[in-house]
Structure 1
């Protein structure tokens, strides 16, 4: 199997799927733990097996298989008849057509409200600002989750169970995630019981489930908590991916977006085609052989895991004409994105309704937008089952500029040397010269200086994330672009003097690929560093007859053991991110392509605190660095006293005291 297809299968799985269909439509892989996993790539085989009762949904059939959070796995996705039949009958009433249709005004109002908030924004994240909040609000309404409990922190907690990032990735973090999730679900069930579950059973699903658990004993407490967890997670994640993936597809196929905008009656087949073209579910949920199964000349043994590649089946040319073409009027369209048979997605009607409402509203309300980053720089969440974007940054354009409905040939992604996107209270600053590994020329330096100043001046922004487009962080100054008479200056400082600016807003470096020379110095100037596993650092100036004079030679010996720092400085050799993490230079080492996600996770945790407190901490650290302890305390006191006597600090202390007592 070509290695480059395997490496790209998260960002773009379709060439990988095409190779499997052609060369290995039924293939087995032996995992390190001894489990055999079969990948089924062709539509005919996936369609036949997806409803085959010889494939069990019970994870306990596979030794050493980790299904999900402990104590939360007794639900629809992990059960066979008769348990599956019993559980599905309890949940099904909330998703009958009559009840789903009744949610239309609720969904539309929520979508309109979220889009109202985006009016006037130069840049948005369609996933974080619209698709995520919309779909989570809808499933919370179906379940009957009180508004006060519908928080971004809850969404983060749920998503951490399938794609842990940052603090959620360590063993302690995983254990804490599980404890917090159990505590939330237990509190939610207790709230329903206290409110009288029988009285709300007809109006919200969770009330009905609690009533079933307490009344006729058709649902155990573990099944109740597991089902609530499952519905909260997949009840919004699938539709979030539909809206995110679908919007990206329309941006990349503006002729189809224009067609949908002009023909509102096309929305039903359009949603089906968007579900097929880039399915929100890449692989079917867990299945294992309960008895020998023959497929494609191979025998799948009992206990083997079977991975049904829905994304591959949906692009099979034996089933679909021109499968790699987006055709919003495609009929028939027998895609498998919602499965088939007893395990057909119970929320399919709700997901379709949300799509039919969201896409026309986005075409109408977003107006003229385009991708704010090159498509190849988008980050996809690396989960096995789901396929979805971590973020979808868009930038609004001036009247008369290209839009979602402008022909593709005239649309270009952002050509600015630096662009910014807003994620809540975090500003992501992206160096955008991927052809030269984001080397900094005059225009880039000026744009970076402006972006960092904007971060500092915007009181709504709590944290900044600095990253690079195209798989690399930064390769330093673009010496070929500089005039012969010397190194240019920015705001009366040396170019790399950007790293010495006395800014107080926390800045996180999200490093993928190369961070060398001035790029390493930029990373060292940040407060925290998150790096992909294949990232590397280096100060190769000595090999060019230069010195790392704008921070590297000063900062590196204070961050690394002296002899390691001198090795990097004197040899010019690369420092792999894994080794840098061992010595505390890197805060988080994450899978390749996930540095920005992990940085946003850290930023969200920092952003929970008041801006004054965070910036004061940073000001104290930078002001007192290098001084003896006595002098440091003298320098610290006037800085900290200004904060400690502020009304904000007094109010915070009072809140803490009330909680403690």
Structure 2
């Protein structure tokens, strides 16, 4: 990537940046680690790129998540009525209701079933000479899992992909002509689904949440929509891109790929390195200064937007040795791929387990796997929040 002598901020969100943001991040960390800029959606705010600053912002309660405190109640939608966009005490209440479906014991109990799902998806491409990693494997695996946890009919998974991509695109200021229609379809689907669950509840998480709502345990209709929207959209996007980005990193580093193939027990440290090296969530969701404040010598006004560049923080040489080196034997590092503080990703244990099973199974079943095209030909999804490619054509 070529730079002018101007600020590295000018290279943000360009096609070259989307393809490989890390040289830009390196310059920002060096020259302007807390940078004021205009984001793609037209908002003016602050970007945090160094690890120590990022970790501090993510746990500093002066930076709030509830946009209604900044923009008023009219700014809230079903896609923001959840723990990701709330502050204590609402955050504690909402997270407490949901985390019952993601306890470490419950997640570990899913191992055998997730293995069966992975094998079934790869059975479908057995005997072929090629596969589409995202379409055939990385997308369906986590959407099947989250659908079963929630109680969503699995035959509707393709609808969720369309809705998820559209809504994520809207958050990236990449709105397509169908985004509002997709939001409406998604909302209507949830309404019909909730009505069925109320008539015939099961033992799935949504039945439990609706039962809690009916029992008066401080769960509003808007909040239950928000929680489900978060789990369906964010709950599988992270894993899709963990698998996709992780496989790209392995295929670009054949020595590491061979090391993992020969020693599958390295998968846990390999997953952590995949999350650090080219993580699936590039930016934190929005925070705002809840008051006039000073942070690291910068004066911020109440209502100022603050965004953490997670993938930049995870390449900070002041925190990680050889940060641009992909090393699956790296000692476990406290990367920020799943966030930090009270908003740390609730589904992180599930995403890790799905990634471990998906990647090890793929390498075991297809030991000669390779990309059909060079990494430069991959099309990265534009915008903010998620970092992932649209597709990865593989030869088996």
Closer/same/farther in 2, CA of residues 63 and 33 from structure 1, 3 Å limit: farther
- Displacement after TM superposition at 1:47 (Å): 0.8
Q: 1:373 to 1:232 in 2, by over 3 A?
A: same
The Cα of 1:233 is off from its aligned counterpart by 0.5
Q: Which residue of 1 aligns with 2:3?
A: none
- Answering whether residue 123 of structure 2 is matched by residue 82 of structure 1, we say no
- The partner residue of 1:155 within 143, 150, 161 is 161
Alignment partner, residue 484 of structure 1: none
CA contact (8 A) 2:81 2:223 kept: yes
1:217-366 correspondence runs (5 A): 217-366=217-366
- 1:24-81 superposed Cα distances (whole Å, 9 cap, x missing partner): 101112469984310011001001111111111012344499978x433211111111
Q: Hey, what does 1:72 align to over in structure 2?
A: 79
Structure 2 stretches lacking a partner, 5+ long: 1-6
1:184 aligned to which of 189, 196, 200: 189
Secondary structure at 2:18's aligned position in 1? Answer: coil
C-alpha distance in 1, partners of 2:19/2:50? 21
| Inter-CA distance 55–106: structure 2 relative to 1 (3 Å threshold) | same
Distance in 2, Cα, partners of 1:112 & 1:136: 15
1:520-544 superposed Cα distances (whole Å, 9 cap, x missing partner): xxxxxxxxxxxxxxxxxxxxxxxxx
Shift of 1:329: 1.1
Kept after mapping to 2: 8 A contact 1:6/1:16: no
Which of residues 17, 21, 34 in structure 1 aligns to 2:29?
21
CA distance, structure 1, for counterparts of residue 114 and residue 57 of structure 2: 35
**Greater RCO, 1 or 2 (C-alpha within 8 Å, sep 6+):** 2
Secondary structure of the 1:37 match is strand
Distance 1:387 1:6, change over 3 A: closer
2:4 corresponds to: none
Name 1:523's counterpart in structure 2: none
Question: Residue 163 of structure 1: SS of its match in structure 2?
Answer: helix
The CA distance in 2 between the partners of 1:126 and 1:327, in whole Å, is 23
**In structure 1, how many angstroms separate the alpha carbons of the residues matched to 2:137 and 2:35?**
39
**CA-CA distance at 1:123 after TM superposition:** 2.3
* Cα distance in 2 between the residues matched to 1:264 and 1:66: 51
For the Cα contact (< 8 Å) 2:281–2:311, is it kept in 1?
yes
Identify the match of residue 96 of structure 1 among 86, 89, 103: 103
Bigger shift: residues 117-126 or 352-361:
117-126
Q: 1: CA distance between counterparts of 2:313 and 2:280? A: 13
Cα distance in 2 for residues equivalent to 1:32 and 1:264: 41
Distance, in Å, in 2 between the alignment partners of 1:383 and 1:30 is 13
Please identify the structure whose Cα radius of gyration is greater: 1
Deviations 1:202-245 (A, max 9, x none): x3211111111111242001101111111000110001110000
Q: How many pairs align? A: 386
Mapped to 1, the partners of 2:330 and 2:282 lie a distance apart of 20
Secondary structure in structure 2 of the residue aligned to 1:109: helix
The question of 1:385 aligning with 2:392 is answered no
Are 2:276 and 2:314, in contact at CA under 8 Å, matched by a contact in 1? Answer: yes
Q: Distance in 2 between matches of 1:363 and 1:65?
A: 49
Work out the CA distance in 2 between the residues paired with 1:39 and 1:192: 42
Q: 1:247, CA displacement in angstroms?
A: 0.4
**1:182–1:32: structure 2 CA closer, same or farther, 3 Å change rule?**
closer
Structure 1 residues 31 and 335, CA gap change in structure 2 (3 angstroms): closer
Task: Please report how far the alpha carbon of residue 381 of structure 1 lies from its aligned counterpart in structure 2 after TM superposition.
Answer: 1.1
Give me the CA root mean square deviation: 2.2
- 1:368 deviation in Å? 1.3
- Alpha-carbon contact 1:124-1:395 (below 8 Å) kept: yes
Equivalent residue for 2:368? 368
Question: Does structure 1 conserve the Cα–Cα contact (< 8 Å) formed by 2:78 and 2:229?
Answer: no
Question: What is the CA-CA distance between 1:121 and the residue it aligns to?
Answer: 2.1
Distance 1:370 1:66, change over 3 A: farther
CA distance, structure 1, for counterparts of residue 81 and residue 327 of structure 2:
39
Cα deviations across residues 251-279 of structure 1 (Å, max 9, x unaligned)?
00110011111112211111111110101
Q: Is the contact between residue 77 and residue 286 of structure 1 (CA under 8 Å) also seen in structure 2?
A: no
- Cα distance in 1, alignment partners of residues 230 and 40 from structure 2: 28
Rounded Cα–Cα distance in structure 1 between residues aligned with 2:39 and 2:132: 37
Match of 2:114 among 107, 113, 136: 107
Q: CA deviation at 1:158?
A: 2.1
Shift of residue 169 of structure 1? Answer: 1.4
8 Å CA contact 1:168–1:177 kept in 2: the answer is no
1:604-659, CA deviations, whole angstroms, 9 ceiling, x for partnerless residues? xxxxxxxxxxxxxxxxxxxxxxxxxxxxxxxxxxxxxxxxxxxxxxxxxxxxxxxx
In 2 relative to 1, CA 367–213 (structure 1 residues): closer, same or farther, beyond 3 Å?
same
- 1:412-431 aligned at under 5 Å gives the runs none
Distance 1:76 1:33 in 2: 23
Deviation at 1:168, TM superposition (A): 7.2
Counterpart CA distance in 1 for 2:89 and 2:46 is: 26
CA distance in 2, matches of 1:194, 1:34: 44
Cα displacement string for residues 146-172 of structure 1 (whole angstroms, at most 9, x for unaligned residues): 234x3312221122111269x9712xx
